[in-house]
C-alpha cells in the first residue's frame, strides 16, 4: 500500500499531523485506529490530533456547507474521536492552504463540524480565527471539577467544544493531570469536556493549563483559551470589545470579543516536518 503525505504543524505547541486529502480518498483509511497510530508519540509520528484537509463537497457530514467554504477540517483527537473543531488546528490548516497555494487572499472560510470559521492572515504573520459565540450551559445546576485532591466550582461553556473553566490559586494545584479530572454532575457534561485551570496574571491577562478530552494535558487549546477568556470577561464585568492575553505552556494567544459576541482568537501557526507515512 502506498504511503500518504503528511505535514507536522503546531499552534502554540498544540501539535497536529496534517493529512492533505483534497478528493476525500483517504476518508475510510483514516479510521480511529489509524489516527491513534499516527498520533502516538512513541510508535507513530506523535501529535495532539490529526487534521485531514479535504474539499467540503467530499464530506457527507458537512456537504451543505460547500457553497460557503471550499475546504473542510476533519479533525480527530489523538484517541481517534472526532471533535467539533480545534482553534489552534484551524490556524495550522489555514497556514497550510496559504503556503501551498490552495487558496488566495488574506481571508478564507473553512468548514468544521462546529460550523464555518472565517480566518484572517494578519500583517505580522499571526492568524486570527472568528471562533463563534460562547454558549453557556442551559442548566443552572452547579458544576464541579476535581483534580489533584482539590475540588472547584466550574463554569460549563461551549466554544463550540464543551469546556469546564475553573479558577485556581496556583497552576500546580491540579497536580500532574496524568488522568482525567472528575467532572460532576455527569448531566451537565454529557459529552465530557475539556477542562481549563486558570489563574490571573494581571489586568485582562490570564494563564491556564488544559486537559483535553481524547488527548490528555496539552500545551495549548484554542477553544479552551476562548472559553477561559470569555468566563474571565464575565467574572471581571468588562464590556464588549474586551481583549485578553492568555498564556499557555506553549506560548501566548489573544482573545477579543466583538460587540456582537463573536470571539476572535489570534496566534501563531507553524509548519515543520514533512514526509510520507504508511497506514
Q: Which residues are annotated as a binding site?
A: 14, 77, 87-88, 161, 194, 212-213, 222-223
CA distance 73 to 4: 17
Give the ranges where the chain is alpha helix by DSSP (H).
Answer: 32-39, 87-99, 222-236
Place of cell 490552495: 102
Binding residues for substrate: 14, 77, 87-88, 161, 194, 212-213, 222-223
In this structure, are residues 39 and 50 in contact, taking their beta carbons and an 8 Å threshold? yes
The CA-atom distances, in angstroms, between 1 and each of 4, 99, 265, 279 are: 9, 28, 40, 8
Query: Is residue 221 annotated as part of the catalytic site, yes or no?
Result: yes
From the candidates 45, 59, 92, 221, which is the catalytic residue?
A: 221
Catalytic residue among 86, 90, 215, 229: 86
CB 29 within 8 A of CB 279: yes
Residue 27 in grid coordinates:
476518508
Q: Quickly list DSSP for 226-272.
A: HHHHHHHHHHHT--TT-EEEEEETTEEEEEEE-TTS-EEEEE--EEE
226 is catalytic: no
Q: Which residues are catalytic?
A: 86, 221
Amino acid at each position: 500500500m502506498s504511503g500518504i503525505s503528511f505535514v507536522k504543524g503546531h499552534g502554540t505547541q498544540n501539535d497536529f499531523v496534517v493529512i492533505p486529502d483534497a478528493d476525500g480518498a483517504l476518508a475510510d483509511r483514516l479510521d480511529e485506529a489509524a489516527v491513534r497510530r499516527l498520533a502516538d508519540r512513541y510508535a507513530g509520528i506523535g501529535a495532539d490530533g490529526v487534521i485531514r484537509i479535504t474539499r467540503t463537497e467530499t464530506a457527507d457530514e458537512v456537504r451543505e456547507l460547500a457553497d460557503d467554504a471550499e475546504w473542510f477540517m476533519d479533525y480527530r483527537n489523538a484517541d481517534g474521536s472526532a471533535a467539533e473543531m480545534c482553534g489552534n488546528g484551524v490556524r495550522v490548516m489555514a497556514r497550510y492552504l496559504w503556503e501551498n497555494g490552495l487558496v488566495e487572499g488574506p481571508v478564507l472560510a473553512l468548514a468544521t463540524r462546529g460550523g464555518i470559521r472565517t480566518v484572517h492572515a494578519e500583517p505580522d504573520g499571526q492568524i486570527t480565527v472568528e471562533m463563534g459565540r460562547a454558549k453557556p450551559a442551559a442548566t443552572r445546576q452547579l458544576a464541579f471539577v476535581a483534580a489533584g485532591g482539590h475540588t472547584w466550582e466550574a463554569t460549563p461553556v461551549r466554544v463550540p467544544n464543551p469546556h469546564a473553566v475553573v479558577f485556581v490559586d496556583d497552576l500546580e494545584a491540579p497536580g500532574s493531570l496524568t488522568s482525567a479530572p472528575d467532572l460532576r454532575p455527569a448531566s451537565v457534561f454529557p459529552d465530557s469536556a475539556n477542562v481549563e485551570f486558570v489563574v490571573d496574571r494581571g489586568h485582562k491577562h490570564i494563564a491556564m493549563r488544559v486537559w483535553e478530552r481524547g488527548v490528555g494535558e496539552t500545551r495549548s487549546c484554542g477553544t479552551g483559551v476562548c472559553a477561559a477568556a470569555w468566563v474571565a470577561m464575565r467574572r471581571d464585568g468588562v464590556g464588549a470589545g474586551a481583549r485578553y492575553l492568555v498564556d499557555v505552556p506553549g506560548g501566548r494567544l489573544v482573545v477579543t470579543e466583538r460587540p456582537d459576541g463573536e470571539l476572535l482568537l489570534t496566534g501563531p501557526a507553524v509548519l515543520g516536518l514533512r514526509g510520507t507515512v504508511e497506514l
